[in-house]
Chains A and B, each alone.
Chain A
Amino acid sequence: SQQGEEDPQALSIQEGENATMNCSYKTSINNLQWYRQNSGRGLVHLILIRSNEREKHSGRLRVTLDTSKKSSSLLITASRAADTASYFCATDARSGGSQGNLIFGKGTKLSVKP
């Protein structure tokens, strides 16, 4: 079953605004990663947050993790048209034969209008 679920499914904002995307998951995790995918391209790793971390920053990106709610958020500040892409959260399978494999959510499609 799918582990991560992002919301909203699609988000349209103006350049300069902040964009917030949320991810919820079902089972315990060791860490959570966010990836970005430009249309018709492969995924690019953005940031990883471990289960014992609550917040992490990387440039204009801010990720939070609430393990009690099994949710994470990705905030992109001062968005640019070049941020237009789909954003996926991915969690690791914590146990069993699939340990270490990533399970991706359906993604949020972000459109930043100039």
Chain B
Amino acid sequence: DAMVIQNPRYQVTQFGKPVTLSCSQTLNHNVMYWYQQKSSQAPKLLFHYYDKDFNNEADTPDNFQSRRPNTSFCFLDIRSPGLGDAAMYLCATSRERHGTDTQYFGPGTRLTVL
């Protein structure tokens, strides 16, 4: 049974055209994360929500925004995608925000920017 679902799996957008990626979870976890992963690189945390509390990483560009309308759903909005934003975007959840908590990842959305 899918626990963390990401839609779409593949997204193509044009340079500067806003795009929204979706993540949903059936685990009822408090924390939802968004990571950016470029080819052969480590996943890089963009931000996370602890319940409704939004936590942005210091080096996340303003071009990236997020919304969490309820426990189950979280969205990543890229306001004006540039060529450098082409990457795999991974959503993850964890029960709490402790380093001992396992993070459960979705399959990712591969974003292509033309």
B residues 37-53 touching A (CB-CB < 8 Å): 40-45, 48
Residues of B in contact, count (CB < 8 Å): 28
Question: Which residue on chain B has the smallest CB distance to residue A92?
Answer: B99
B70 within 8 A of A: no
Cross-interface CB contact of A31 among B4, B6, B92, B100, cutoff 8 Å = B100
> Which of A14-22, A65-73, A77-85, A95-103 participates in binding chain B?
A95-103
A99 engages B99 (CB within 8 Å) = yes
- With contacts A40-B110, A42-B106, A42-B108 known, is A105 near B100, CB below 8 A? no
Write out the residue numbers on chain A whose beta carbons fall within 8 Å of the beta carbon of B88. 40
Residue of A nearest to B101 (CB): A100
Please indicate which of the listed interface residues B4, B43, B90 has the most CB atoms of chain A within 10 Å of its own CB.
Answer: B43
Q: In whole angstroms, how far apart are the Cα atoms of A67 and B108 in the complex?
A: 33
Give the interface residue-count category, chain A: 20 to 34
- Bound state CA distance, A103 and B105, in angstroms? 15
How long is the Cα–Cα vector from A82 to B100 in the complex, in angstroms? 27
Residue of B nearest to A94 (CB): B99
Q: How far is the CB of A29 from chain B (nearest CB, A)?
A: 8
Instruction: Mark B residues whose CB is within 8 Å of A.
Output: 4, 6, 40-45, 48, 55, 57, 88, 90, 92, 96-108, 110
Given contact pairs A42-B108, A43-B105, a sample of 19 additional A-B residue pairs in the complex whose CB atoms are under 8 Å apart: A4-B42, A29-B99, A30-B100, A31-B100, A35-B105, A41-B107, A41-B108, A42-B4, A42-B6, A42-B106, A43-B90, A43-B92, A48-B102, A88-B43, A91-B99, A99-B97, A101-B97, A102-B103, A106-B40
Show 10 residue pairs from A and B whose CB-CB distance is below 8 angstroms, ordered by the A residue. Answer: A41-B108, A42-B105, A43-B92, A43-B105, A93-B99, A99-B99, A100-B101, A101-B99, A104-B43, A106-B42
